[in-house]
């Protein structure tokens, strides 16, 4: 699920390319402590993901402007999360539940997407899943003197998670522990966490880098990270990503797709069986942190992903152990159950149409394979829905896994790699490839991070006047300018005794800005 498309999907804007560029600069500069994008300090996320990406690139042979080595940590981390939840399902419930839980997580739409992107979220998912599955074993086996090693793995996962994305993992783990203590009215099981040895282990993971970074030019990293990244998200809608409470519940129909068709019924079954220790733990993992994410004004679809392993476990439990698994719709009433399935079916059709539309409008015309895959997935979806109340839990799991595989493989293998109109930066890099690799390119009107990643750290971000002045002063240099400023550039070059040579015209849709762009690749030559 995670490897197809890893090498063929172009670098995406904007976050992924910012992470990849900062990791590339770490290799280029040899500075493994400070994080920068070109000349600007990147005081947002901790160092962990940059270390992982830089290490992957060096291991794979210094492919500095190739995206897939930077994505390997995300793919491997998502795989690790699947294996961890598989093991946890076996430990908490039964072997088949473990297998289904792994399938649920591996084929959930948001997990597949994040496994293909070189950002923090898949690695945070792995760290959270590792920590919380260890915490689950400690909680469920608290009366059997669980191993000290399990507690140490819990704290180790916390340390890694903090080094990846700051306090998010602490929020999830803390909310889970608090909910269990309140529900049980018992604090004695906390002794199984062995905090006396566990907390120092967590600090050993986190503190060395914090101490190292505090002595350099980014000595105020923690303060800047809180001020520039975390606090704006807590008190307002950062970068226009605000939404009302309840947004994640609605979005889960897609982000947890195709398993979201079961979610309401699974949660109702779990709530009825909340006295079951393993079920209670999964609810404590899922619900309190979800409420916090709903309250926080800034919302992005992947923010709740560290909670999806809990939903995967509950789904696997309901499909294998709940006596009423095949009567899911009856639990909420036949009409409500039917209405929700209709909504889910509409989302499935919208997803299928979206994949087809993107291939047709932004792609290179190769939609035959996409169409066949989508038709197959729609037929499987229809079978699952029509036989919803008559199938066994195992049959439903197999059908939904097939749906997830078909749609996700179609998206990552056949669609995203061929959306040529969206791949502006690779086409600019190919057009400018005729120039000297040692002479930076000037960009005007298109300052996306993916272009900086592909063209080089010293890429000049400017306007048309600055780009023209640069190619006049730098023999052999190329510039990229909006095509509607070509005459202005030609006039300026003529005044300087040069002629404008247009090497290429790149047309594409800049999805970061939501507009079509027409860019000319030019250079200056003697008349």
Which residues, listed in sequence order, are joined to residue 509 by a DSSP beta bridge? 516
Distance in angstroms (rounded) separating the CA atoms of residues 527 and 494: 9
Answer yes or no: do 180 and 240 share one domain. Answer: yes
Answer yes or no: do 23 and 39 share one domain. Answer: yes
Is the pLDDT assigned to residue 414 strictly greater than 60? yes
Token pair 């990503």: residue: 241
Q: What is the pLDDT of residues 243-300, one digit of tens each?
A: 788 999 999 999 998 999 888 888 988 998 899 999 999 999 999 999 999 999 889 9
Q: Which of 420, 449, 476 is the last residue of a domain?
A: 420
One DSSP character per residue, 443-499 reads: EES---HHHHHHH-TT-EEE-HHHHHHHHHHSTT-EEEEEGGGHHHHHHHHHHTT-E
Whole-Å CA distances, 456 to 72, 290, 299, 440, 474: 21, 40, 32, 7, 17
Q: Which residue has the higher pLDDT, 498 or 349?
A: 498
Answer yes or no: do 314 and 381 share one domain. Answer: no
Answer yes or no: do 100 and 243 share one domain. Answer: yes
Q: Which of 394, 420, 446 is the last residue of a domain?
A: 420
Is the pLDDT assigned to residue 36 strictly greater than 70? yes
Three-class DSSP category at 501: strand
Answer yes or no: do 402 and 300 share one domain. Answer: no
Query: How remote is the C-alpha of 220 from its chain's centroid?
Result: 27
Three-class DSSP category at 502: strand
Q: Residue 107 is part of which domain span?
A: 15-322
Element (H, E) at 232: helix 231-235
Rounded to 5 degrees, what are φ and ψ at 24?
-60, -40
Three-class DSSP category at 405: helix
User: For residue 7, is it within any domain?
Assistant: no
Answer yes or no: do 121 and 216 share one domain. Answer: yes
DSSP state of 422: G
pLDDT computed for residue 324 by the predictor: 46
pLDDT computed for residue 516 by the predictor: 95
Q: What is the pLDDT of residues 114-154, one digit of tens each?
A: 999 999 999 999 999 999 999 999 999 998 888 999 999 99
DSSP state of 9: S
Element (H, E) at 69: helix 67-92
- Cβ atoms 398, 102 nearer than 8 A: no
Residue 210's contacts (CB-CB under 8 Å, 6 or more residues apart) are: 221, 222
Q: Return the structure tokens found at 514.
A: 């939501």
Token pair 């994410």: residue: 293
């Amino acid at each position: 699920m995670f490897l197809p498309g890893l090498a063929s999907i172009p670098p995406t804007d904007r976050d992924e390319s910012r992470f990849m560029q900062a990791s590339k600069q770490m290799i280029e500069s040899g500075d493994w402590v400070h994080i920068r994008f070109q000349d600007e300090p990147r005081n947002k996320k901790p160092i962990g993901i940059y270390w992982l990406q830089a290490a992957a690139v060096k291991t794979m042979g210094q492919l500095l402007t190739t995206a897939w080595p930077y994505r390997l940590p995300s793919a491997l981390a998502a795989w690790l999360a699947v294996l961890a939840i598989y093991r946890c399902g076996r430990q908490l419930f039964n072997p088949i539940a473990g297998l289904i839980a792994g399938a649920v997580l591996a084929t959930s739409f948001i997990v597949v997407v994040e496994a293909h992107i070189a950002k923090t979220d898949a690695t945070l998912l792995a760290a959270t899943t590792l920590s919380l599955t260890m915490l689950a074993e400690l909680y469920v086996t608290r009366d059997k003197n669980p191993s000290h090693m399990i507690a140490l793995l819990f704290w180790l996962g916390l340390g890694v998670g903090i080094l990846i994305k700051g306090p998010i993992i602490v929020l999830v783990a803390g909310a889970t522990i608090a909910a269990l203590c309140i529900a049980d009215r018992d604090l004695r099981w906390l002794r199984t966490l062995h905090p006396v040895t566990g907390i120092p282990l967590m600090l050993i993971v986190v503190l060395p880098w914090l101490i190292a970074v505090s002595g350099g030019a980014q000595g105020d990293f923690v303060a800047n990270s809180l001020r520039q990244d975390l606090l704006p998200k807590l008190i307002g809608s950062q970068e226009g990503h605000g939404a009302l409470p309840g947004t994640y519940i609605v979005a889960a129909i897609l982000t947890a797709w195709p398993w979201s068709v079961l979610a309401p019924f699974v949660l109702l079954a779990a709530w009825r069986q909340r006295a079951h220790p393993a079920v209670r733990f999964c609810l404590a993992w899922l619900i309190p942190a979800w409420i916090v994410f709903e309250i926080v004004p800034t919302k992005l679809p992947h923010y709740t992903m560290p909670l999806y392993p809990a939903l995967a476990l509950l789904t696997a439990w309901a499909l294998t152990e709940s006596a009423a698994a095949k009567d899911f719709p009856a639990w909420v009433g036949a009409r409500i159950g039917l209405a929700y399935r209709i909504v889910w079916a509409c989302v499935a059709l919208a997803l299928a149409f979206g994949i087809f539309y993107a291939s047709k409008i932004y792609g290179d015309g190769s939609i035959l394979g996409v169409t066949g895959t989508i038709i197959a997935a729609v037929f499987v979806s229809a079978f699952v829905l029509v036989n919803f109340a008559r199938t066994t839990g195992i049959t439903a799991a197999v059908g939904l896994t097939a749906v997830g595989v078909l749609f996700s493989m179609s998206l990552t293998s056949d669609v995203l790699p061929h959306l040529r109109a969206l791949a502006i930066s690779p086409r600019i890099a190919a057009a400018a490839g005729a120039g000297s690799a040692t002479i930076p390119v000037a960009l005007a009107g298109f300052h996306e991070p993916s272009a900086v990643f592909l063209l080089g750290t010293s890429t000049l971000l400017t306007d048309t006047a600055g780009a023209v002045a640069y190619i006049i002063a730098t023999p052999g240099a190329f510039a990229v300018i909006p095509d509607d400023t070509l005459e202005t550039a030609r006039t300026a070059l003529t005044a300087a005794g040069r002629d404008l040579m247009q090497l290429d015209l790149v047309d594409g849709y800049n999805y970061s800005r939501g507009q079509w762009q027409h860019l000319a690749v030019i250079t200056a030559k003697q008349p």
